[in-house]
Amino acid sequence: MERVPSLSLCTPDGSERGASDFSALLQGCALPLEAQSLAGAARQLIAACPSLPQPGAGRTLTRWQFLAWLAGQDLSLVKIYEAHADALAIHAELAMPRAVAPGRADPEIWGVWAARSPRSELRYTSERGRQVRLSGVKPWCSGAAFVTHALVTCVDRDDRDWLAALPIDQPGVTVTARGWEAVGMAATQSVEIDVLDARATLIGPSGAYLRRPGFWHGGAGIAACWYGAAAALAVRLRDAARRRDDAHLNAHLGAADAALSAARALLREAAHTLDATPQANAMALALRVRAAVESAVDTTLHACARGLGAGPLCRDRWFARMAADLPVFVRQSHAEHDLAALAKHAAADLDWSL
């Protein structure tokens, strides 16, 4: 298929590379990826680009640019890769080194599984120092079929929250087929896992996962993924407008441009703010960025559907998959709940002076 156009970006190592160079990272991957091909593509990408700059450490925009580019290629792949990069950032922020198995041929792939099941949270069944045994159910485990390790939330006997590193390939972890019926993001197979007396290692002190500044850094970074996918869809709208002069098509393109340009400006401002004040509470900033980008996604999806019609939704496999995946991915936003939280948290400091 035709590669999705992209702007020139900075690589994680700081060098400048164009879209064709980035596309080489996915050499041989047929996009959009299916469930059967996602694992191999994730291993290939992580082997070539094992980490990203730490958020809030001076190069947050570089991190987000790479995630946005990758999201514009395949949302299932960025879902896996972003979680892997987030897990590494959490280890670094909490000063917890990863134990890497010696002689491993394939790269480790980390997930971050923090959702909770109403039926059963992961709980300690025993503990010895930082080594614990976990049992329970963990829902929405993206990439569970091939992820090698995951950072999982769990609770102790007193219902205190903890984060633990869980190796997936062990007898106590069972990847089920339950809990994921969506057409969008189907390749991620974000199913439930059953855990029974599985070994894990506590990461950081109790409550550290939510209290650390990086929690909201990561939350804002997810919006960069949403943005990248929406921008890639809008490229098809732009290309169509270049081929034919149609007033309604141009109006839809104008709406997408205004929404995406505003979201891009806020993402860049947010990246600068996080780098300038990495220890500050970034909750309001992250919620504001997420809300703005979600609005841009909604506008772009509407503009593409109205401006391009049924053609690409029915005949363009990449476009159809992106249009199905993005609404599911963006539901990581909690919509009006997040807007209410933003207003409550930031009300005293709201100032819209230009």
pLDDT tens digit sequence for 314-340: 999 999 999 999 999 999 999 999 999
> Does 353 reside within a domain?
no
Beta-carbon contacts of 233 under 8 Å, excluding residues fewer than 6 positions away, are 300, 301, 304, 319, 322, 323, 326
At residue 304 the predicted structure's pLDDT band, cuts being 50, 70 and 90, is very high
- What the block records as the tokens of 50 is 């094992």
> Does 63 reside within a domain?
yes
Q: Is the peptide bond before 327 cis (omega within 30 degrees of 0)?
A: no
- 7 versus 130: the higher-pLDDT residue is 130
> Does 103 reside within a domain?
no
> Does 99 reside within a domain?
no
Has residue 140 got a pLDDT over 50? yes
C-beta separation of 135 from 197 below 8 A: yes
Q: Is the dihedral of CA 250, 256, 262, 265 positive or negative?
A: negative
Q: Tokens 């400091």 sit at which residue?
A: 349
Check whether residue 166 and residue 48 sit in a common domain: no
Exposed e or buried b for every residue in 302-324, given b needs 16+ CB within 10 A? ebbbebbeeebeeebebbebbbb
Check whether residue 234 and residue 337 sit in a common domain: yes
Domain of 306, CATH number, reads 1.20.140.10
Residue after which a domain boundary falls, among 161, 180, 209: 209
Check whether residue 48 and residue 136 sit in a common domain: no
Check whether residue 262 and residue 307 sit in a common domain: yes
pLDDT digits (tens, 9 = 90+) for 54-98: 999 999 999 999 999 999 999 999 999 999 999 999 999 998 877
C-alpha distances in Å from residue 290, one per residue of 220, 222, 333: 6, 8, 7
DSSP-derived secondary structure letter, 194: E
Least confident of 20-34, 89-103, 178-192, 204-218: 89-103
The mean pLDDT value of the chain amounts to 92
Alpha-carbon Rg for the chain, nearest whole angstrom, is: 20
Q: Say whether 111 sits in a helix, a strand or coil.
A: strand
pLDDT of residue 221: 98
Check whether residue 128 and residue 234 sit in a common domain: no
Beta-carbon contacts of 236 under 8 Å, excluding residues fewer than 6 positions away, are 304, 308, 312, 316, 319
C-beta separation of 131 from 112 below 8 A: no
C-alpha distances in Å from residue 258, one per residue of 33, 56, 57, 296, 300: 30, 28, 30, 9, 10
Q: How many CA atoms lie within 13 A of 20 on its CB side?
A: 0
Domain total for the chain?
3
At residue 46 the predicted structure's pLDDT band, cuts being 50, 70 and 90, is very high
At residue 18 the predicted structure's pLDDT band, cuts being 50, 70 and 90, is low
Structural domain of residue 58, as residue ranges? 9-93
- pTM score, whole prediction: 0.93
pLDDT digits (tens, 9 = 90+) for 234-268: 999 999 999 999 999 999 999 999 999 999 999 99
pLDDT digits (tens, 9 = 90+) for 209-221: 999 999 999 999 9
pLDDT digits (tens, 9 = 90+) for 281-300: 999 999 999 999 999 999 99
What is the distance between the alpha carbons of residues 230 and 260, in angstroms, rounded to a whole number?
8
C-beta separation of 60 from 12 below 8 A: no
Per DSSP, which regions of the chain are E strands?
A: 9-10, 16-17, 110-113, 123-128, 131-141, 149-155, 161-167, 173-175, 191-202
The C-alpha torsion from 337 through 263 and 293 to 39, rounded to 10°, is -140
Has residue 6 got a pLDDT over 50? no
Check whether residue 231 and residue 310 sit in a common domain: yes
What is the distance between the alpha carbons of residues 155 and 132, in angstroms, rounded to a whole number?
11
Check whether residue 224 and residue 168 sit in a common domain: no
Please name the amino acid found at residue 27.
Q
Bridge partners for 152 per DSSP: 113, 164
Check whether residue 155 and residue 191 sit in a common domain: yes
